[in-house]
Amino acid sequence: MLCGGISVIFFYVLPVTVLSGHRVDVDKGLVRQWAPLVWLSPEEKFMPSNVEEFLVNTNIADEHGSVLTGSKSPARFFQYNSKKVFLVPKRSLDSLKENYTSFLYGKSPKSYPPVPIYAVVTYCSNPASSEFPPDLLPTFHVTYWMFYPFNEGKDSCFLGKVPAPLIFSKCFGHYRKLGNHFGDWEHMSLSFSGHPYPDQLFLSVHDAGAYYAYQRNTNTFRFQAKMERKGVAQVPSYPEFIRLQAEGSHGLWSTPGDHEFIRVPKITDRTGFGAPWKTWGSIVFYHIGRSEMPAWMSFKGKWGNPKTKCILLKKFGLCEYTEGPRGLLRETNDFYC
């Protein structure tokens, strides 16, 4: 079943030019020049947003949804910093969804001030070291993080309480919308190895993703390998080449059209060209080990509600409301030095 209204993202990576000047400015220049042009789905209802507006509208709760603190102070992220806590809305999700002006719907990429994208830079070499060659660009990784206050689930076919496949594209049972969650982080990553262009790209697709190698002579990224983070029944397919663009449904796909990533129940993302989001004009930089990090970045809990209204067993993840994602600093990274 195609789910209308899901967030869909296209990327177009801008061609880079050789930069000059202070090395930190050069690094930021590379990050800006290779930042994605994000195309939201024409059917998208839940737009991206900034983290700060989201956080002032949340409480920290336990795994049962009971509020532990309603404080807005950054200290709450240190006081209640456990993998077993969740960020939940101060008001009910149903009431927020009924109010189309609520923070849950985010902001148009055309709004002012522009919606930020968060670039987390990790250096593999110290560009400030006197031993570092002055004519060589540093080796570093950058992850572009996009935040959405809400991820709308997808309609899935069921026979009674059991997920069922479509037969001749028709559901002979009933549909249920699964996978809604409060708070959503999505990302892509680039690896730079001392050149004014990346050598690898990682595209995140839900709980999976793919690695691509940059082909300088053709200005394309070529598929290398796929990666799955969880033992879930996701079966996304990836194209052989990306001509500097990718898209997805709060996960990133590389071609327009319909993308099936779970077979039973059948769940398909639809991608297309909607509102453009020129992210290079609104980057918030964080340099690991070199700049002060906000308190929320160290939060280990889930950026969203606990699982509720689940079908069969919770561990299979077939829930009307599933858990929100982890934050930016995770135990596994897309690239390592």
pLDDT digits (tens, 9 = 90+) for 80-108: 999 999 999 999 998 999 999 999 999 99
Closest CA to 232 of 202, 250, 254, 205: 205
Q: Which of 29, 11, 58, 22 is nearest to 221 (CA)?
A: 11
Helix residue ranges, H only, the chain: 23-33, 51-55, 76-79, 93-98
Q: What is the DSSP letter of 325?
A: P
pLDDT in tens, 35-84: 888 877 777 889 999 999 999 999 999 999 999 998 889 999 989 999 99
Asked if pLDDT for residue 316 goes beyond 50, the answer is yes
Residue 132 has pLDDT above 50, yes or no: yes
The pTM of this model reads: 0.82
Rounded Cα–Cα distance for residues 328 and 337 (Å): 18
139-151 and 117-123 as β-strands: parallel, antiparallel, unpaired?
antiparallel
Q: For position 175, what pLDDT does the model report?
A: 86
CA distance 250 to 186: 6
Domain locations along the chain: 5-321
What does the pLDDT look like over 244-303, one tens digit per residue? 332 323 444 445 555 454 444 444 444 556 778 889 999 999 998 888 899 999 899 999
Residue 273, both tokens: 């060209």
